[in-house]
Amino acid sequence: MPSDPVSIDQYRCGTGCPLLFIAGPCVIESEEFILDVAQRLAEIAADLNIALVFKSSFDKANRTSIHSFRGPGLERGLQILAKVSQRTGLPVTTDIHEPFHAGPAAEVCRIVQIPAFLARQTDLIKAAADATLKHGSVINVKKPQFIAPEDTAHIVRKCEEAGQSNILLTERGTTFGYGRLVNDMRAIPIMHATGAPVIFDATHSVQMPGGATTGGQREMVPIVARAAVAAGCHGVFIETHPDPDNAMSDGPNMVRLDQLPRLLRQLVRLRETVLECEADAE
C-alpha cells in the first residue's frame, strides 16, 4: 500500500495531517521573478505556519500555440529551482514530460509531478518512480481529465511495482463536453481509496480549454478549493502570480499573490474543522 501520510522533508501530507499547499507561478519566467515570488511565499508560509512546497515549470510542453512561452528548459530551470530551495528553505516541485527528465528533476525536487495528459505513459511513470525512490523524494501524479477517479488505482500500482510507495494523486477536474471541466468531489475519497493522499488542483480545475489560448475563471478558485477541503483532500495546489493578467502562462487561472494569504487561512480553518469531524466520527 502507498504511504499515508507521505513525508516531504519536514512536512507530512495525508490522513490526520494539516493541509499541504503546493503554490507558485505556472512557469519560470526569469530567475529574479521566481526568487522574488518564492521569498514572498516563504514569508506567507512562516506567517501562517503552514506546509508549503514551491512549484513552477521549467517547460510548458503542452501549449496550445507553438509560439507560446515555454520556459527556460530543463537544465536552467532546475538551477533556478535549486536556488529557490537554498534561499528560502522551501521544498520545490516541477513537472516532467520525458523519462530522461526524471533523474535530474528528482535530484533537485522533493516532489516530481506527472502532468495529467501524460499520466498513462508507463515509461514516464516508471522513470519518475525509479528516480524519486533513488533520491528519497515523492511522485505526484495528476489524474487525467479523461479517466474515472477509480482508475487512478492503475497509476498507483505502476509506482508500487517500481518500489515507490511515496505517492500523491492530484484531482484536477474532468472533461465535460468541449471547452469545459467539471469537478465531482466524490473523486477525492474515491482516489484516496487507492491508499495515496489526494491533492486538489484548484488552478487547473477552473481552466476553460480551447481557442487560441486556454482561458479560465480565477474567481472560482476559492469556491472549488473550499469544496475540495470540505470533501477531505489532503493538500491544495494553487498557482499564483503577482500580476496574473500579464503572466506568460495560464494567467486566467492564477490567484493574485496578494490575495493568496486570505484564501489559505480559510482553507486551514476548514481543514481543522474536517479533522475535528473525522475525530468525532471515530
* Neighbouring C-beta atoms of residue 279, cutoff 10 Å: 9
The model's pLDDT over 100-142, given as tens digits with 9 standing for 90+, comes to 999 999 999 999 999 999 999 999 999 999 999 999 999 999 9
C-alpha cell at 278: 473525522
State residue 111's pLDDT score. 98
pLDDT in tens, 80-108: 999 999 999 999 999 999 999 999 999 99
* Mean pLDDT of the 204-226 span: 82
d(C-alpha 25, C-alpha 82), whole Å: 16
* 3-class DSSP state of 243: coil
Quote the pLDDT of residue 251: 81
Query: How many helices (H) does the chain have, and how many strands (E)?
Result: 8, 15
Residues whose CB is less than 8 angstroms from the CB of residue 30 and which lie 6 or more positions away in sequence, other chains included: none
CB atoms within 10 A of CB 197: 28
**Arithmetic mean of pLDDT, 55-80:** 84
Q: Give the whole-number percent of the chain exceeding pLDDT 90.
A: 83
Architecture of domain 6-281: Alpha-Beta Barrel (3.20)
Name the grid cell of 107. 535530484
Amino acid 281: pLDDT: 78
Phi (first) and psi of residue 243, to 5 degrees: -145, 75
By the 8 A CB rule, do 156 and 6 touch? no
Task: Compute φ and ψ for 20, nearest 5 degrees.
Answer: -100, 130
The whole model's pTM is what?
Answer: 0.95
Nearest to residue 55, comparing CAs of 134, 170, 152? 170
| Angle of CA points 164, 170, 176, to nearest 5° | 140
Question: Residue 212: what pLDDT?
Answer: 55
Q: Any idea where the domains of the chain sit in the sequence?
A: 6-281
- Asked if residue 5 lies in contact with residue 33, where contact means CB atoms within 8 angstroms, the answer is no
Q: Which of 52, 37, 27 is nearest to 235 (CA)?
A: 52
The crossing angle, in degrees rounded to 10, of helices 152-161 and 122-135 is 50
Phi and psi, residue 238, nearest 5°: -135, 115
What is d(CA 185, CA 213) in angstroms, rounded to the nearest whole number? 27
DSSP 27: B
Provide the pLDDT confidence category of residue 211 given band limits of 50, 70 and 90. Answer: low
Dihedral Cα 15, 17, 19, 20, nearest 10 deg: -90
